[in-house]
Structure 1
Amino acid sequence: MSRYSGLWAYAAALGGAALFGLLLSFTPIGGQLDYWTYDLLLRLFPPPARQSSAVILAIDERTLAASGGLMNLRRPVGEALQILERYEPASIAIDIVLSERRDDAENEALARAIATEPPTVLAANLRADGQGWENPVEPFSSAAAALGHVHAEPDADGVCRRILLAKAAGRERRWALGLEAFRLARDATDILQTEDGLQVGDAFIPAPYRRDQELLLRYANPASPIERLSLQTVLEDPSAAEAVRGRAVFVGVLVLGGLDRYLMTPYSFGEPMAGVEINASVYETLARGEFLRPVAPSTALAAALLLAGAFALLFRRLSGWRAVAAGAGLLALAQTLPALLFQQDLVFPAAQTTFVAWACFLTGASYHYLVVRRQLEVSEAQTNRYQKAVHYVTHEMRTPLTAIQGSSELISRFSLPEDKQRQIGELIHKESQRLARMVEIFLSVERLSAGQLELRREAVSVSDVLEECVRRVRPLADRKRIAVSCEAPPHLRVDGDHELLEYACYNLISNAVKYSPAETAIDVRAWSSPDRILIAVRDQGYGMDSSELRKIFQRFYRARTAQQSGENGSGLGLAIVEEIVIQHQGSISVESQPGEGSCFTVSLPRGVLELEPKAARHA
């Protein structure tokens, strides 16, 4: 693999990992991770513990018992409002939808209490069909200073983390109950809407129109929750209403199964929160002015892509434990980034950076490991090939070196006739050529095996190759009185490297001679099929069993009968033969039975090149 192709493969792997992480962050899994992270951070970094700006006037079990139940609340609520008036609360929000007509006298009394100071905002609920509002009936609606919606839209997991400060239904739009209470407490005439948020008096609320003017709630610190005051306590002891002075009052039912809605919040831990408490939390968030601002999607995406680029650069530039350590540090930064930003009142989608960081870290580390491992394997393979080459040189080349050494000693130590000196010189020259050719063949096979050398392809006559091999091996065969026959039609040819093919065939034939008993026969034959040339070398040697046949082409493996024959060998010859045949897109097989000899068959593709004259080939 070239440098640039490897670089592109690495970039594609990291890019694919980053894309996978991004796509995963947009699935429900990513959304749930964002929810869990937000809830955890909200609990880890709550607002400072301090007195709440709102008080919940709770219609609790004691109040219901004293008033006679949920259907008889208007009279005690009216009486409580008259008491609260004397203690000057900032504003009052009644989180009870007064949409039903009851006793006129009670209605009039409650309406008069609503119409007095401080200003009171009444709840309007979204109709079940979503096409309009369930508003308070007269005389309540005209007595109220404002109407505010109490509609809640929990997230996909059923947890209420945000509230829509404005909600439209039909042709009417309602501001949230908590927002209207905040406006009245600020003596603001109107709520000014801009692209970036809402202006209430001198207070700015960052609730952009593009985000549906949603407000992320910062629920009160559990150590100092929104103060509760039982409505019945106020009726029994009006002085208890001193707690509401200068604070907003939210009137609502705090009885599970009562009129109010109960929703899960990040602080619920299995216990739902009443709607009136959620609306009071809206007011608390607005009054504190400690707003949580969601990070823009484009910013979150840019951060995720920047992380991916950092991982890519890191694993490309560093190596070993430094790369892993730096990657782990970058991964830790990605995990802590939402927490760091949350302390600056910024809400960052954790899923994007988390999934992208993990995907890029695992991919980069795996790719880095594979590259290092491949480099190690290449290095080990080169070392292994070098060791095998040394072993081959020291073993296979001993014969020509011995001949050269012996001949040179004869010339140097004795005064030989000129004819004898010329004969010995020719022998030295011949053996040195043979030695050089053996080295070249072995190194060529090694380079072919490593993919570092291409075959010198030419049209090769099969009959010429086999006849030359038989001629070279015949002196050894004659000494053992072994008959060697060769049958190869002259028209058969293959496309390949002439020297390598000759080496392979010679190795098979010489092995047959070396490992066959005296006075036996060896048959060398070549024939053709429609698209293949087949060469078979059959002997009457010692043969091999099935376990030896499975290992016969392994490097340095020698069959038991070969070791017992007394013949020298390295176990490399057949391995080299197989490599040569494979490089020629061929195959080699062997059939053998102990005591019945062996037959090696080579299958090669038919040649398509024109055969050169023998003289030109050896020129």
Structure 2
Amino acid sequence: MTRRITPGLAYGLLAAGAALVSLLVSWTALAAQFDNNVYDFIFRVRPTVRADAGAILLALDERTMQRHGGIGGMRRALTQALEQMVQAPPRVVAVDLTLTDPGNDAEDAALQAAFAKTQGLVLGCEMEPDAGGCSGWQDPVEGFRAHAALGHVHALAGPNDEINRRVTLERVCGRARRWALSLEALRLLKHAGVIESSPTDVTVGGLTIQSRWDAGRPLWVRYRDAASVMRVSMDDVIAGRGLERLRGKVVFVGVTAQSAVKDRLFTPLSGGLPMPGVEIHLQAFETMAAGDLLYEMGPLAPLLLALVIVALSAVIFTFLRGWVAVLSGGVLLVLAHAAPYFFFAQGLILDAFAPAAASWLGVLGCAGFQYFYVRRRLFVSEATTARYQQAFHFVAHEMRTPLTAIQGSSELMTRYNLPELKRKELGQMINSESKRLAKMITTFLDVEKLEAGQLELRRAVFALQEVVDTCYQRAMPLAERKQIRITSEVADDLVINADRELLEYAIYNLMTNAVKYSAPETDVLISALQTQAGISISVRDHGMGMDAGEVKNLFRKFYRTRKAEQSGEVGTGIGLSIVQQIVVLHGGHVEVESAPGAGSTFTVVLPATLH
């Protein structure tokens, strides 16, 4: 027995498939780019607004470059600015400038002296790349770094695009480790001795930052609008203007002039204008100093959320129907897409692709299945209704003859005082026709059950001649009225394995049709023979015949040829449809040979399987 998949199981399988596909694709570059775009959008619709975190940008902008000798005068300008800052000393100074090569001896000596007088100094350093990864650190010259801590200044673009969203808190080259410039500035601000680390986090001055070593020690930067970042031009500081703005602050010093800076990167809020690296480090510092941290939830969270979403989609379309199910699925889609925003508001980063893909695949898959499933159920229901209506027409059509005989006989017995012999004859006729009527009803019900797959054929092995003789006896009264001779050419030893009652009905229907539509004083031949293909039972008449178009439509229910309708014979075009159903249920087929005015031959071919 074939087990049918229930709708609930189908929804469950669709949901499981949606979860599997979404999870597999979530590990691809496409999903990573989708996540990037989602969080760039969230950063823009929910920009970071924070109080003064105590950081300010001391910018080597275009004006400073023009007035102080450009790149060549950068160290001299920095020295002058540091000397002015002694009047309003900041708490920490983080310098993101290239100081790896010796310059003019006098200028370097002056800058070294300025560094010595600067408290809380951090100097930037870079990794020196080579084919194997890195060959060492490009540290400031020895005289400069004697008075400062070192922090790396790498602010790399994000994966799959050129947008910076994270900085690396730790970089290792060879046996030397450098913490990020922003993290070293935070250490000095908090007067922490060392930065403590474990495989999963970094601790500085009592602040623990969840950042995994095996993931590269990432820190999500909560960027805010560049216009809200406090900044002062180095030219103003050299001129003694704006010094009080630097007092007690953490000052990040770097190049912001577009013509000079090389480490500009786009950020989610850069608006088409890349951000200087020094400003990225400043915003990373503010993120940590304000404790406004973002933590990644890890790969298990989107997996579980995707499973919950597809499970809900299966539940929705299993128990709800129509617009209620569609609206509920729409709400689920909205919630799945809003989930990253809700988690972001709580300081959590959730991979957005898996839940979003699971919601679309789950909802669309289940909705599509429900739509086509309901349509199929509707078609099945309509077909069932039509079949029952046709069955009613079958019964009404075929019962007319026995009912007429019963009615006529009963009226004769009621109205007239008939001889006992005649009354007995009429009583036997009523009994015979009532039995035939009951048998007919049973036959029709069996055909309906067989067509619906609810009843098995009651096969039996019997002589075909017996069935033909029975049909002959029943068709003789009709043939005698038209003086038509019925001839049988069926061998007595020809046996068949079939449902006797259904086969009898089919042969009788073909035989009576041949008589009804044949001209008077003709003959009808019924023959049968054994072939390699099976047993062929043929009924040939000398009636009006049919053309090819009429033969093509002959087995359609309720179809009658124009000549049949004009002949005056009563019929509904149902009988041949029943014959075809019976033959097909036996694994056979019906062949028709006919031509206008030349009569017709109907051949039933049944497989000769004897079990």
Distance 1:277 1:492, change over 3 A: farther
Counterparts of 1:453-602 in structure 2 under 5 Å?
453-602=455-604
Matched residue, 1:615:
none
Distance 1:71 1:477, change over 3 A: farther
Matched residue, 2:103:
102
Matched residue, 2:414:
412
Distance 1:74 1:198, change over 3 A: same
Counterparts of 1:260-271 in structure 2 under 5 Å?
260-271=262-273
Distance 1:466 1:137, change over 3 A: farther
Q: Report the TM-score, using the length of structure 2 for normalisation.
A: 0.94
User: Cα deviation per residue 1:532-552 (whole Å; 9 max; x = unaligned)?
Assistant: 322232323222233322321
Counterparts of 1:256-335 in structure 2 under 5 Å?
256-335=258-337
| Structure 1 counterpart of 2:187, from 183, 193, 199 | 183
| Structure 2 counterpart of 1:229, from 222, 229, 232 | 232
**CA distance in 1: counterparts of 2:317 and 2:7, whole angstroms:** 13
Report deviation, 1:361: 1.0
Distance 1:196 1:481, change over 3 A: same
Matched residue, 2:66:
65
Matched residue, 1:213:
217
**CA distance in 2: counterparts of 1:31 and 1:574, whole angstroms:** 66
Matched residue, 2:447:
445
Name the aligned partner's letter for residue 65 of structure 2.
L
CA contact 1:52–1:225 (8 Å) conserved in 2? no
User: Cα deviation per residue 1:479-525 (whole Å; 9 max; x = unaligned)?
Assistant: 32334333334454443211111211221222122112223333333
Matched residue, 1:55:
56
Matched residue, 1:162:
166
CA contact 1:49–1:221 (8 Å) conserved in 2? no
Q: Report the TM-score, using the length of structure 1 for normalisation.
A: 0.92
Partner-residue secondary structure (3-state), 2:417: coil
Report deviation, 1:195: 4.5
Name the aligned partner's letter for residue 407 of structure 2.
Q
Distance 1:535 1:300, change over 3 A: same
Distance 1:601 1:283, change over 3 A: same
**CA distance in 2: counterparts of 1:217 and 1:92, whole angstroms:** 20
User: Cα deviation per residue 1:52-101 (whole Å; 9 max; x = unaligned)?
Assistant: 53222222222222233323311111221222232221211111232223
User: Cα deviation per residue 1:329-363 (whole Å; 9 max; x = unaligned)?
Assistant: 22222122222222111122221111111111112
Matched residue, 1:359:
361
Matched residue, 2:378:
376
**CA distance in 1: counterparts of 2:329 and 2:471, whole angstroms:** 61
User: Cα deviation per residue 1:212-268 (whole Å; 9 max; x = unaligned)?
Assistant: 32111100245x521222222222x21323222222222222233524312121113
CA contact 1:456–1:496 (8 Å) conserved in 2? yes
Matched residue, 2:126:
125
Name the aligned partner's letter for residue 56 of structure 2.
V
**CA distance in 2: counterparts of 1:134 and 1:226, whole angstroms:** 29
**CA distance in 2: counterparts of 1:111 and 1:549, whole angstroms:** 109
Q: Which runs of no fewer than 5 residues in structure 2 stay unpaired?
A: none
Matched residue, 1:614:
none
Which is worse superposed, 362-371 or 396-405? 362-371
CA contact 1:476–1:513 (8 Å) conserved in 2? yes
Name the aligned partner's letter for residue 480 of structure 2.
D
**CA distance in 1: counterparts of 2:592 and 2:174, whole angstroms:** 88
Partner-residue secondary structure (3-state), 1:397: helix
Report deviation, 1:451: 1.4
CA contact 1:264–1:273 (8 Å) conserved in 2? yes
| Structure 2 counterpart of 1:248, from 250, 253, 256 | 250
Distance 1:369 1:417, change over 3 A: same
**CA distance in 2: counterparts of 1:234 and 1:243, whole angstroms:** 10
Distance 1:485 1:48, change over 3 A: same
Report deviation, 1:460: 4.2
CA contact 1:123–1:136 (8 Å) conserved in 2? yes
Report deviation, 1:5: 5.0
User: Cα deviation per residue 1:542-573 (whole Å; 9 max; x = unaligned)?
Assistant: 22233322321111111111111111111111
Distance 1:103 1:571, change over 3 A: same
Partner-residue secondary structure (3-state), 2:142: coil
Name the aligned partner's letter for residue 367 of structure 2.
A
Matched residue, 1:134:
138
CA contact 1:407–1:428 (8 Å) conserved in 2? yes
Matched residue, 2:27:
26
Distance 1:151 1:7, change over 3 A: closer
Name the aligned partner's letter for residue 202 of structure 2.
L
**CA distance in 1: counterparts of 2:85 and 2:33, whole angstroms:** 43
User: Cα deviation per residue 1:309-341 (whole Å; 9 max; x = unaligned)?
Assistant: 222222222333332232222222212222222
Report deviation, 1:134: 2.3
Matched residue, 2:427:
425
**CA distance in 2: counterparts of 1:415 and 1:272, whole angstroms:** 118
Partner-residue secondary structure (3-state), 1:360: helix
Partner-residue secondary structure (3-state), 1:314: helix
Which is worse superposed, 562-571 or 588-597? 588-597
CA contact 2:154–2:167 (8 Å) conserved in 1? no
**CA distance in 2: counterparts of 1:71 and 1:604, whole angstroms:** 104
**CA distance in 1: counterparts of 2:93 and 2:488, whole angstroms:** 115
**CA distance in 2: counterparts of 1:520 and 1:174, whole angstroms:** 113
Name the aligned partner's letter for residue 62 of structure 2.
E
| Structure 1 counterpart of 2:405, from 403, 406, 412 | 403
**CA distance in 1: counterparts of 2:464 and 2:82, whole angstroms:** 115
**CA distance in 1: counterparts of 2:470 and 2:301, whole angstroms:** 77
Distance 1:84 1:524, change over 3 A: farther
**CA distance in 2: counterparts of 1:282 and 1:505, whole angstroms:** 93
Name the aligned partner's letter for residue 255 of structure 1.
A
Report deviation, 1:375: 3.2
**CA distance in 2: counterparts of 1:551 and 1:115, whole angstroms:** 106
**CA distance in 1: counterparts of 2:86 and 2:534, whole angstroms:** 109
**CA distance in 1: counterparts of 2:428 and 2:452, whole angstroms:** 36
Partner-residue secondary structure (3-state), 2:228: coil
Name the aligned partner's letter for residue 297 of structure 2.
V
CA contact 1:158–1:263 (8 Å) conserved in 2? yes
Name the aligned partner's letter for residue 9 of structure 1.
A
Name the aligned partner's letter for residue 164 of structure 1.
T
Name the aligned partner's letter for residue 184 of structure 1.
L
**CA distance in 2: counterparts of 1:136 and 1:100, whole angstroms:** 7
Which is worse superposed, 243-252 or 49-58? 49-58
